[in-house]
Amino acid sequence: MKKIINNSNDVVKEMLQGMEKASPQIRYIKEHDVIVRTKKADKVAILSGGGSGHEPAHGGYVGYGMLDAAVAGNVFASPGADAVVKGIEAVDAGKGVLLIIKNYSGDIMNFQMAKELAEMDGAQVEYVVVKDDVAVPDSTYSAGRRGIAGTVFVHKLAGAKAEAGGTLAEVKAVAQKAIDNVRSMGTSMASCVLPGVGKAGFTLGEDEIEIGMGIHNEPGLERTTMKRADELAKILLDRVLEDYDYSGSEVAVMVNGLGGTPLMELYILYNEVEKILSRQGITVYRSLVGNFMTSLEMPGCSLSLLKLDSEMKELLDAPCSTLGWTQFHV
């Protein structure tokens, strides 16, 4: 294992310390592995979190215009309910707290337990669950669809709504609207290596890729041979477009790197994605190309499409300032 670490047991804490030092805007509560804004904002608070290893998610989205707190678990494991409660307490300004949860069994159980505990102490807490990964069938009896890179759009829109003075119900409604309108699909070209494990979770052949791979080494839909960028763009986009009707609409596109794919390749992919979209009469309103929701050093990418209305466009264009996403008024 070749990793720039000191000790595999310390990776989460040392990373969060580094994040704190890299940004004057955030503070690290080290007892609970929570990142919060340096100055508590007088508005509806938004908290997200989950396993580590997806940076900049989620600590990198704490700051003006996005999150108020991010709670970090161990690598690929949900944070404990008690840490989430501490996060809620740290950011609650009396106007309510919205939890943005990615749909994984562990996250759901811990965040729901945290909501129950915080409510016992009088906090007003609501949550939304992001499930954008079309590689997984949705259903109510099972774990259902995973939450992946589309979550970053939910952070952005809900964050902008809260910053604009939205009530808890309004912020939750915007978050839910983003969730209802976003779909993602990913592919991976190799396993990532968990620092605590030290070796790859699976192996793919020299010329093999996995379509629909998750962001935790969990398998996808099928294994196939390596494709050209134009073919890959079509494979990923077809799945997304089959799942939700984007025809004639304006969209925000995210081409997200999983940690081990060069930006050069992400831009090549985006170039192909844009061509297909414009041929199909889907207008790209905004695009984001980069590493937004990673899976350690995994080579691969995901593609997310968010269907926009006028309110969502305005929220998307609002300024934000975080380690992972900074923009001025567009």
Partner 1 sequence: MTFHMDSKNYMEYIKLVSKKITESKDYITEIDAATGDGDHWVNMNMGFTAIANSSAELENLKLSDMFKKIGKNFISVVGGSSGVLYGSAYLEAAKLTAGASHLTPETLCGVLEAMTNAIMQRGNAKPGDKTMIDSIYPAVQTFRLGLEEGTDLTMLLPAVKQSAIDGAESTKNMVAVKGRAYYQADRSISHIDPGAVTMSYQIGILMDYALEHLTPA
Residues assigned a catalytic role: 54, 216
**How many residues sit in the footprint of partner 1 (CB under 8 A)?**
37
Residue found under tokens 């009469």? 281
**What angle (nearest 5°) sits at the alpha carbon of residue 148, between those of residues 185 and 323?**
120
- Considering only residues 218-237, where is the footprint of partner 1 by CB under 8 A? 218-220
Q: Site for partner 1 (CB under 8 A): which residue of 197, 204, 268, 284?
A: 197
The CA-CA-CA angle for residues 50, 56, 60, to 5°, reads: 90
Q: Of 89, 106, 176, 321, which lies in the binding site for partner 1, with binding defined by CB under 8 A? A: 106
Q: Which is nearer to partner 1, 23 or 103 (CB)?
A: 103
Between residues 75 and 157, which has the closer beta carbon with respect to partner 1?
A: 75
* Segment near partner 1 (CB under 8 A); pick from 122-130, 135-143, 152-160, 240-248: 135-143
Coil, strand, or helix at residue 116?
Answer: helix
Which SS3 state, helix, strand or coil, does residue 295 take?
coil
* Spatial distance between the Cα atoms of 98 and 45, rounded to a whole number of angstroms: 6
Longest dimension (CA), the chain: 56
Question: Which is nearer to partner 1, 128 or 296 (by Cβ)?
Answer: 296
Measured from the CB atom, is 78 or 291 closer to partner 1? 78
Residue 198: exposure state from Cβ atoms within 10 A (0-12, 13-18, ≥19): exposed
228-235: long-range pairs with CB below 8 Å, 24+:
229/265, 229/268, 229/269, 229/271, 229/272, 230/272, 230/275, 232/187, 232/269, 232/272, 233/269, 233/272, 233/273, 233/275, 233/276, 233/303, 234/272, 234/276, 235/187, 235/211
Nearer to partner 1, 173 or 197 (CB): 197
Question: Smaller CB distance to partner 1: residue 112 or 321?
Answer: 112
Least Å distance, CB 42 to partner 1, is 30
Minimum distance, C-beta of residue 127 to partner 1, in the bound complex (Å): 15
Contacts with partner 1, 198-217, as mask; x by CB under 8 A = ---xx-----------x-xx
* Residue linked to tokens 């997984």: 136
136-165 binders of partner 1 (CB under 8 A): 136, 141-143, 146
Taking the complex as a whole, how short is the minimal distance between the CB of residue 73 and partner 1, in angstroms? 4
What are the structure tokens assigned to 276, written together? 């297909």
| Binding range to partner 1, per CB under 8 A, among 18-26, 34-42, 108-116, 179-187 | 108-116
Residue 225 Cβ vs partner 1, minimum distance, rounded to whole Å: 19
Q: CA-based Rg of the chain, rounded to a whole angstrom?
A: 19
Contact 71, 87 (CB under 8 A): yes
Among 26, 27, 34, 51, binds partner 1 (CB under 8 A): 51
73-102: which residues touch partner 1 (CB under 8 A)? 73-83
Q: Nearest distance from residue 212's CB to partner 1, in Å?
A: 9
Q: What's the closest the beta carbon of residue 78 comes to partner 1, in angstroms? A: 5
**100 with 154: CB under 8 angstroms?**
yes
Q: Which residues bind partner 1 (CB under 8 A)?
A: 9, 32, 51, 73-83, 104-106, 109-110, 113, 135-136, 141-143, 146, 194, 196-197, 201-202, 214, 216-220
